[in-house]
Structures are given as C-alpha cells and as structure tokens.
Amino acid sequence: MADYVSTVREFVVENFLYGDGSRLEENTSFLDHGIVDSTGLLELVSFLEQRFEIRVEDDEMVPENLNSLGCISSYLDRKLNSRSAL
C-alpha cells in the first residue's frame, strides 16, 4: 500500500492547523476535532484532485473517505489502484 499520509498531512497542517501538527495523528478525526469544516473539505478535495490527478465524485465525499489521514490514505490507495487496473 502506498503511503499518502505525509503528503496529505503536510497540506492539512499548513492550511488548517497553521503549521502546528503536533497533535495530528493518522486517525485524528478532522470533523470531531474541528480541523476541517465544509469549506475546508472543498479545499481538501481540490488538493487531492490536483495532487493525485483523480476525480473525487460527490458520492465519495463521505467521512469514511475523508475524515482523517488514515481514511484519505486508504481512499487514495483504492482510487489509484482501481485507475491503474483499467
């Protein structure tokens, strides 16, 4: 499994935590900890689409895919692996 955590972590720390990622763990919930709001979610999705050259579909914008670094890493792994299988 590819590791996307460091790339996404860097983006989240810079854009939502103002450089202080000391308490951001792989399974820290963005929603429960108020890290990302609805506008931030759109920024995060835009970053993922540009950085990883994917399209995040509306039905994929769910907490199971985007609520933590671990969720995003798993989502990207599935998304990119399914694309390379085509």
pLDDT band at 1 (very low <50, low <70, confident <90, very high): very low
Matching residue, tokens 């955590």:
5
pLDDT band at 60 (very low <50, low <70, confident <90, very high): very high
Tell me what the mean pLDDT of segment 29-52 comes to.
96
DSSP type of residue 4? -
> For 72-86, how does the pLDDT look when each residue is reduced to its tens digit (9 = 90+)?
999 999 999 887 665
Is pTM beyond 0.85? Reply is: yes
Q: Is 85 exposed, middle or buried (CB count within 10 Å of its CB: 0-12, 13-18, 19+)?
A: exposed
Domain boundaries, the chain: 5-84
Contact at 8 Å (CB) between 11 and 85?
Answer: no
Domain 5-84 CATH class label: mainly alpha
Q: Is 55 exposed, middle or buried (CB count within 10 Å of its CB: 0-12, 13-18, 19+)?
A: exposed
